[in-house]
Amino acid sequence: MALRKVVEENAKYKVFEGKKITEGYKPREKLCVNNWYYTFGDVFTYALENGECPLEAFEDAKKLGYAIYWLNPDPVALGMAVGEDKKRAFLVNVGEKVKYAGKIFTVETAPNDNLVLVEN
């Protein structure tokens, strides 16, 4: 990871300034948006981690109208186990563009107050 400015640090996370649009994010990387934490997810990674065919999972998700790429809200944790390393997260704002899985998305608020990735 390139040298980045640490913008915030707490008991569980070390938050760095967000990546440039040309760098892109990887599966399972974390974002910090409005002091809430989210993890990138997608159908392909989920399928591979669960021993399923990613192409079949993609077709099923498309057919059923499910999201192909998403942000999972992370559970709130008040502390960490002794000796546990802090997790890395990247600071992003609602409305900001991010690159994930080779695609450009805008981070937007969903009607249920979660976040969604809207493809550009």
Q: Where in the chain are the domains?
A: 6-40+70-119
pLDDT in tens, the chain (120 residues): 557 899 999 888 999 999 999 999 999 999 999 999 999 999 999 999 999 999 999 999 999 999 999 999 998 766 667 777 889 999 999 999 999 999 999 999 998 889 999 999
Phi, psi of 89 (to 5 degrees): -140, 160
pLDDT value of position 10: 86
With a CB cutoff of 8 Å and minimum separation 6, the contacts of 90 are 15, 16, 17, 18, 19, 25, 29, 30, 31, 32
Q: Give the per-residue pLDDT at 78.
A: 65
Kindly report whether the global pTM for this prediction surpasses the value 0.75.
yes
pLDDT of 84: 79
24: left (phi over 0), alpha (psi -120 to 50) or beta: left
pLDDT at 75: 85
